[in-house]
Structure formats: C-alpha cells, structure tokens
C-alpha cells in the first residue's frame, strides 16, 4: 500500500480543505493508498509527532470550510528555521532532518500545497531527493506556471462585495471610498474586484500612479454629475517615483505591506476638495467559505496531484491552463513567479477603454 504525506504551507487560502479532501478520496478510492497529514506546514515534517491519519472520516464535511484542518505555518522553512540554540535565536538548516523524516515516515510521496515561498522550498527539497508534488494556492494569484490559484476567486468575491457596500455610503456622503486589498506585489485582486465592483480608479503595483491624475478623473466625474468615487487599491501599489508602503517589517522579508490606502485618503483630504475614507479589508479576504469555482479548482487540483504522486511525477506541480488540469515542473513554475498583471495587456486595455483610471494618465 502506497503512503502519501500531505501538508499545507504559508498563509491559508479558501479551498485548502477541498484539496485535502480530494487527495484522500482519490488516494483511497482509486489507488487504495493511505494518506498521512502533517500539521502546521513544514513544521510537521520536522516534528512528525503531529501526524494525523486521514481517511474518509477525517475529511467528511470539510469541502465548504475555509482554512485548513492541517494548520499552516509561515516560519517552518526547513532550510532556515528559527531555533533557540544556547538560549539564543539562531537560524538553522534542518533540511537533512526533513529528508530523513520523509524516509522514517515511509512516505512514497509528499503533496505540498502552498504559494511561491512554500513551493520554492519544495523545489529545493525535491532537488535533494524528496518525492514532492506541488499544489499551487494563494489568494494573490501570483504563482507562475498556472492560470489561476484557488483562493483567488473567493478573495475577489469578498472584495467585490465590499466595493458594492462602499458604493452606497460613498454616494450618500459624496465621498471617495478607497478599499485597500491584499495581493502583495501583484494587482490581481484589486483589478478583478475593481472591474466586478465598478471602481472608478484601480491602483495596482504593476502601474505606478500619480494622484493628480486620479483627482482629475474624479473632477471630470463630478462635472458629469457623479459626486462619489470608488477606488480599488492593491496594498502593493505605489506612486510614480515612490516605493511600496509597509505596515511592519515583521513576517517574510521585506515585511508586511499595508497603509497606502490611508496615505492616499489623507492626501485627498488635505490636498483636494475630495472627501475620502479608507477601508482596509485585510484577512477577511483569506477567510470564509470557498466559492464554487474555488471548490471546483481545489478538488481537481487535489485529484490531479494524487495522480502525479501515484505516477511518481515528483518535482511537478498540478496546474490549470484554460479549463485543462495538467502539470508543470516546480522549477519552471517557480521561475515564472511572481506572475503579474501585464500593464500593456488586453485586460488593462479593456479596463482603460471602460473609462476606469489606473492613475498613470
């Protein structure tokens, strides 16, 4: 009987449980294989006392649940793990132990569900002999080698609902309402929600903005009788000649993005006649029940990853191109990351054509 390990790394995203469920169902039904869950990302590989046998019982009812039943961890990189050595915090390479534990646990394969950080670590472990198969996840949709990652659709849905709600209060008070959205250095969530939520300005990291252009756009709207404005803003957006804004230096280097929304709102309040407020949607974008699309994608990713694992296609990641589930080597996927919005692409052109400003002209 083949033994498949599975772990979820990095930040959570709606749809993780749907992947886990699909792996367990496919492994048990189609291959008569067993599945072992490792808790808290790569920590579970370094401290394997936190194992959980996954059968139909453990995954019953989790398809529609956000989060991950396995837990996730951002600090568990086996190549540079923070350990207390002689009372001092020290960075230690524990990749040997991770590889040994895969053998000790008699895992024929290890399915790793993660974003760019987790899958980069996975590629490095694979290069050292680990039988890893990847599954791409992130609400940011910035993972290369696949058209879409699960979690993105749910995040876009939550962001669009927020924009819809901001519309009514913006209109009542004749204000510019700014919604600051996640996405790291990619503007996919802000762009997607901005289109779906009828934003007047979409500010993303791929297109640096000049606030004067945004003000000009709002003044034109006022002349046409629209005295309110909606801005869909990516947390990584920045002005021409500027740099992204960080709320703290903690977390993955160079830190946690955030705060640009309030900076813009203050600028508008002080330097223009436009009354503005900022809402930061934050981790609401990572929570809640996955949309049907994300459940669909996550389930197919789980089934696809199990097929790769059983075929011995280690060093590969399941992906989607158009509507087709396939695979790509982790090396190629990681080298195509981050996948950013093409500032000169058809999508951006179409948005400009609808009269939405990116703040650059």
Active-site residue numbers? Answer: 140
Stretch that binds ligand F6P, among 30-38, 137-145, 157-165, 190-198 (CB under 6 A): 137-145
CA atoms within 13 A on the CB side of 338: 17
Min dist. Cβ of residue 226 to ligand F6P (A): 30
Q: Per the structure block, which two tokens stand in for 173? A: 């008070």
- When asked if residue 182 is in the footprint of ligand F6P (CB under 6 A), the reply is yes
For 108, left (φ over 0), alpha (ψ -120 to 50), or beta? alpha
Min dist. Cβ of residue 167 to ligand F6P (A): 23
- When asked if residue 43 is in the footprint of ligand F6P (CB under 6 A), the reply is no
From 165, 227, 256, 277, residue interacting with ligand F6P (rule: CB under 6 A): 256
The H-assigned helical ranges of the chain are 16-31, 43-46, 56-59, 95-104, 116-127, 152-173, 188-196, 211-223, 260-271, 292-310, 330-335, 346-353
Q: Per the structure block, which two tokens stand in for 283? A: 């981790």
CA 51 to CA 48: how far, in whole Å? 6
- When asked if residue 138 is in the footprint of ligand F6P (CB under 6 A), the reply is yes
From 139, 199, 300, 333, residue interacting with ligand F6P (rule: CB under 6 A): 139
Closest by Cα among 244, 339, 310, 288 to 109: 310
Among residues 43 and 140, whose Cβ is nearest to ligand F6P? 140
From 5, 8, 9, 11, residue interacting with ligand F6P (rule: CB under 6 A): 11
x/- site string to ligand F6P, residues 184 to 203, per CB under 6 A?
Answer: x-------------------
Give the H/E segment covering residue 61: none
Closest by Cα among 264, 255, 276 to 177: 276
- Sign for the CA dihedral angle at 106, 109, 112, 118 comes to positive
x/- site string to ligand F6P, residues 44 to 63, per CB under 6 A?
Answer: --------------------
CA 175 to CA 168: how far, in whole Å? 10
x/- site string to ligand F6P, residues 283 to 322, per CB under 6 A?
Answer: ---x------------------------------------
Stretch that binds ligand F6P, among 19-27, 42-50, 177-185, 312-320 (CB under 6 A): 177-185
Among residues 255 and 355, whose Cβ is nearest to ligand F6P? 255
Residues that bind ligand F6P (CB under 6 A): 11, 74, 115, 138-140, 182-184, 235, 251, 256-257, 286
């Amino acid at each position: 009987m083949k033994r498949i390990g599975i772990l979820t790394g990095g930040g959570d995203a709606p749809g993780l449980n749907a992947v886990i469920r699909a792996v367990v169902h496919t492994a048990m039904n189609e291959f008569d294989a067993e599945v072992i869950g490792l808790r808290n990302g790569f920590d579970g590989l370094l401290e394997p006392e936190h194992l959980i046998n996954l059968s139909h019982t453990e995954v019953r009812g989790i398809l529609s649940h956000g989060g991950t039943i396995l837990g996730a961890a951002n600090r568990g990189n086996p190549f540079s793990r923070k350990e207390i050595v002689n009372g001092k915090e020290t960075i230690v390479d524990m990749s040997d132990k991770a590889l040994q534990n895969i053998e000790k646990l008699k895992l024929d394969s290890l399915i790793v569900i993660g974003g760019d950080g987790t899958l980069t670590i996975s590629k490095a472990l694979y290069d050292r002999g680990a039988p890893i198969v990847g599954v791409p996840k992130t609400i940011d949709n910035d993972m290369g080698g696949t058209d879409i990652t699960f979690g993105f659709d749910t995040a876009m849905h939550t962001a669009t609902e927020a924009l819809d709600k901001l519309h009514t209060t913006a209109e009542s008070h004749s204000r510019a309402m700014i919604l600051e959205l996640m996405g790291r250095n990619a503007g996919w969530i802000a762009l997607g929600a901005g289109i779906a939520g009828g934003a007047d300005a979409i500010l993303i990291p791929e297109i640096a903005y000049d606030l004067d252009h945004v003000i000009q756009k709002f003044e034109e709207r006022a002349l046409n009788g629209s005295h309110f404005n909606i801005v869909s803003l990516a947390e990584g957006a920045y002005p021409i000649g500027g740099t992204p804004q960080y709320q703290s230096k903690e977390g993955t280097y160079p830190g946690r993005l955030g705060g640009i929304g309030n900076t813009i709102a203050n600028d508008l309040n002080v330097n223009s006649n436009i009354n503005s407020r900022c809402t930061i949607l934050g981790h609401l974008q990572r929570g809640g029940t996955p949309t049907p699309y994300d459940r669909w994608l996550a389930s197919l990713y789980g089934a696809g990853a199990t097929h790769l694992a059983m075929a011995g296609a280690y060093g590969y990641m399941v992906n989607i191109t158009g509507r087709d589930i396939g695979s790509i080597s982790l090396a190629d996927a990681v080298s195509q990351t981050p996948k950013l919005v093409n500032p000169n692409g058809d999508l951006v052109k179409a948005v400009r054509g609808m009269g939405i400003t990116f703040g650059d002209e």
